Amino acid sequence: MNYSQYQLVSLTVLRVLIGWHFLYEGISKLISPYWSSAAYLLDSKWLLSGVATTIVSNPTLLSFSDYINMWGLTAVGALLMLGLFSRYATVAGLVLVLLYYFFAPPFTGLEYSKPAEGSYLIVNKNLIEACALWVLFMFPSSDIIGLDRFFKEQINKGDEHE
Amino acid sequence: MNNKENESNNTSSERRELLKSLATVPALAAFLIAFWQKWRRDALKKTNLLSNLVQEKVAPAVVSDVSNSKHLNLGIIGYGGRGHHLVRGAGFAHLGWTESAAENARKNKLDKAFATYMSQEDLNCSLVGVCDLFDVRAEEGIEASKNETRPGSKPVQTATRYHHYKELLANDDIDAVIIATPDHWHAQIVIDAAKAGKHVYCEKGLTRTFDEAINVYDAVKKTGITFQLGHQNRQVEANEKAKQIIDQGLLGPINLVELTTNRNSPWGAWVWDIHPEGNARTIDWDTFQEQAPNKIPFGEEALKRFFRWRCWFDYGTGLSGDLFSHDFDALNQIMEIGIPKYASSTGGIYFFKDGRDVPDVWNATLEYPDKDLTVLYSATLSSNNSRGNRIMGHDATMQMGGQSNAGSVSGFVVTADSESTQYKDRLESGIINPQYPIYTYTPGSKQIDGVTSATSRYFANKGLLYTYREGKRVDPTHLHIKDWLEAIRSNGQPKCNIEMAIHEAVSCHMATESYLQGRRIEWDPVNRKLI
């Protein structure tokens, strides 16, 4: 894709900031001995609440869910920041954030035991972050600014040598 | 020349390529620096708040091998609601319970009551005698002794029904008895059991009156039986942790403790169902009221009194023996306060005007001049505004249960006092913020409990339903029975022995007597009398 310099900077900054957010969310869960996805899942409402109960009541599924969250967020965050395998990282991040959204959507009539830190009606920060990841997916920048560029170069060079 | 230019162009283009590839790496470096700074700051906080302050001790181990121990034969006297739970703690649940608990677990995956029961340790004992004045309950007890759905091996023996406790005590095969009758029968049965050489687990409150408590104490001391009072909070991990923290002086001088009870339902106020099969043929009413000061003929009123006995002073002491006794004993466990010098109490029947004579709002004050301590107890049966218990020190406050229970059962938080002397430097340097806890104890924080009803949540918050050993959920009633059986086998002392029991009984009776007599009551430890 051909971007102007400003467009490129904008996309890169967005990618790095989302990566930063994911990375710290992941690491803070990794270093906390008490963190578990159970509290979030227990408060789940709407379509996925049954799935959430199933996960929480099964220790194996719950530790799997904890593991996916802790390491998934950390890996997606680091990859987005570095611009490495960004396409996959963006999709993985999008899936995670959409899951957070759909496990606890801010729809009218759904009451949560933990109040939100802001005021949300249908749209919340998870949905916006998911949307931002979608934009990153549609307008990739890591093969221009990021480690993906380096690997693309290596592959291209390899092609030239053949 | 051209070659050289090309080479240098190539090199600078390669360098540019590399720079573009690595352009966002400094952002990751910035992240790592920021993270490292935050992590160090948090670690410093933790060092200052936790390691230096709380010397963590390992929780007592739950597993011990009883398979080679002496097999004990148990009898139950009073197989009502509490009797069911106690016998279940020994490993014998009646069929109705195991079936409905299994069904509840199927319906609600978060309901762990059945799983918790089935993972109990097999205590190597048999239920061989059941005595209850209500036929239906007695039959359930016999059934429990046979139920093969139980932790461990199949039952060895089937229980025999006894219509009178004296017949049960006459059975030489019985080593020990669990007494879960209404309070007005406790004293006589404990004394007779002790004389018959049976070890005793007696449900709280110890007795209905002060004099009875002294007689029970003397009988237990004289016969040397192994006695356990039914305060299962003695097994609760949170109380052990709380004791460690207070023993280390982290709360500073403690001059005031506030204990509370909040309930707001007919069930919570002891208005329990009258069993449809309860009638003159199935209930031995005369034996029931034999020890009660006031007697009435069998009829509708008697049925109410049989199933809701906690509402009358003829059979118990209301809030005092039923609920205050738990909170008092937990505090005695944590702070070893013993019997107060003075007690006074007030209250009234303000909500449940249903013919009861025990108060439904009741407040008691215990004074310990030699310990510079006042203990307040405040209870209402018409508000669920759970306040929890607060131990207020000059340097920090410990809030247990109630609204600050850290979102989990039987947890507690310790918050520094803004005017603390001990933490002055740390408060000034900002390491300790009195807005946030300096210590939070959340048992089983990685485990999920489906505690459903408000009443069971009340007990769970008090740590009376579940406790944790190595992160695993255990019923403290089971641990308390186990503690008693182990003490019998080793000829040792259980955790709530007769010394602890007399503290509970005298303290509660002082408060009850103050309400009944409308004056302050003083304890005379030399003559063992209430003045």
| B174-200 pLDDT per residue, tens | 999 999 999 999 999 999 999 999 999
Residue found under tokens 């107890």: B377
Report the pLDDT value the prediction gives residue B406, as an integer from 0 to 100.
Answer: 38
Q: How far apart are the first and last CA of chain B?
A: 116
Strand arrangement of the beta sheet that strand B160-162 belongs to: B160-162, B125-131, B72-77, B176-179, B199-203, B227-230
Q: Phi, psi (5° rounding) for residue B393?
A: -105, 165
Report the pLDDT value the prediction gives residue B473, as an integer from 0 to 100.
Answer: 76
What DSSP designation does B437 have? E
Q: Which of B118, B192, B19 is nearest to B473 (CA)?
A: B118
Number of residue pairs across A and B with CB atoms under 8 Å?
A: 63
Q: How far is B232 from chain A (nearest CA, A)?
A: 27
Range with lowest mean pLDDT among A28-32, B14-18, B131-135, B358-362? B14-18
What DSSP designation does B472 have? E
| pLDDT higher than 80, residue B435 | yes
The more confident residue out of A136 and B433 is A136
Q: In chain A, what are the domain boundaries? A: 5-161
Report the pLDDT value the prediction gives residue A133, as an integer from 0 to 100.
Answer: 97
How far apart are alpha carbons B363 and B258 in whole angstroms?
A: 11
What DSSP designation does B158 have? P
Q: What is the pLDDT of residues A76-132, one digit of tens each?
A: 999 999 999 999 999 999 999 999 999 999 998 888 877 777 889 999 999 999 999
Residue type, B186: H
Q: Which residues of B407-439 are buried (b: 16+ CB within 10 A; e: fewer)?
A: ebbbbbbbbbbeebebbeebbeeebbebeebbb
The more confident residue out of B463 and B64 is B463
Q: What is the pLDDT of residues B29-69, one digit of tens each?
A: 999 999 998 888 777 666 555 445 554 544 444 445 555 68
B27–A83 C-beta distance less than 8 A = no
Q: Are strands B396-400 and B389-393 parallel, antiparallel or unpaired?
A: antiparallel
Confidence of residue B334 (pLDDT cuts 50, 70, 90): very high
**Is the pTM above the cut of 0.90?**
no
Q: Which of A24, A62, A153 sits opposite B35 (nearest CB)?
A: A24
Q: Topology of domain B72-234, per CATH? A: Rossmann fold (3.40.50)
Q: Is B252 left (phi over 0), alpha (psi -120 to 50) or beta?
A: left
Report the pLDDT value the prediction gives residue B455, as an integer from 0 to 100.
Answer: 60
Q: How far is A159 from chain B (nearest CA, A)?
A: 17
A58–B109 C-beta distance less than 8 A = yes
Give the mean model confidence (pLDDT) for residues B489-507. 96
The more confident residue out of B312 and B112 is B312
Q: In chain B, what are the domain boundaries? A: 72-234, 237-272+308-470+498-530
Compute how many other C-beta atoms are within 10 angstroms of the C-beta atom of residue B56. Answer: 9
| pLDDT higher than 60, residue B358 | yes
Confidence of residue B405 (pLDDT cuts 50, 70, 90): very low
How far apart are alpha carbons B29 and B35 in whole angstroms?
A: 10
Residues in chain B whose beta carbon is closer than 8 A to a beta carbon of chain A? Answer: 17-18, 20-25, 27-28, 31, 35, 39, 109-110, 407, 442, 445-446, 448
Give the mean model confidence (pLDDT) for residues B358-382. 97
Closest CA in chain B for residue A147:
B21
Q: What is the second-level CATH architecture of the domain B237-272+308-470+498-530?
A: 2-Layer Sandwich (3.30)
Please give the share of chain B, as a percent, with pLDDT higher than 90. Answer: 69
B20–A145 C-beta distance less than 8 A = yes
Q: Which of B28, B39, B110 sits opposite A53 (nearest CB)?
A: B110
Report the pLDDT value the prediction gives residue B63, as an integer from 0 to 100.
Answer: 45
Report the pLDDT value the prediction gives residue B371, as an integer from 0 to 100.
Answer: 97
From the centroid of its chain, how far is CA B476?
7
Q: Are strands B373-380 and B361-368 parallel, antiparallel or unpaired?
A: antiparallel
| Token pair of B483 as six digits | 């503690």
Q: How far apart are the first and last CA of chain A?
A: 26
User: Are B126 and B145 within 8 A, CB to CB?
Assistant: yes
Closest CA in chain B for residue A31:
B39
At A135, is the secondary structure helix, strand, or coil? helix
Q: Please spell the DSSP secondary structure of A52-106, one letter per residue.
A: HHHHHH-HHHHHHHHHHHHHHHHHHHHHHHHTSSHHHHHHHHHHHHHHHHHHS--
Report the pLDDT value the prediction gives residue B408, as an integer from 0 to 100.
Answer: 43
Report the pLDDT value the prediction gives residue B170, as an integer from 0 to 100.
Answer: 97
A144–B20 C-beta distance less than 8 A = yes
Residue type, B476: P
Among A9, A10, A16, A17, the strongest candidate for a mutation testing the B interface, having the largest count of B CBs within 10 A, is: A16
How far apart are alpha carbons B312 and B322 in whole angstroms?
A: 12
| Token pair of A130 as six digits | 């998911």
At B347, is the secondary structure helix, strand, or coil? strand
Report the pLDDT value the prediction gives residue B61, as an integer from 0 to 100.
Answer: 43
Q: Which of B24, B442, B448 sits opposite A83 (nearest CB)?
A: B24
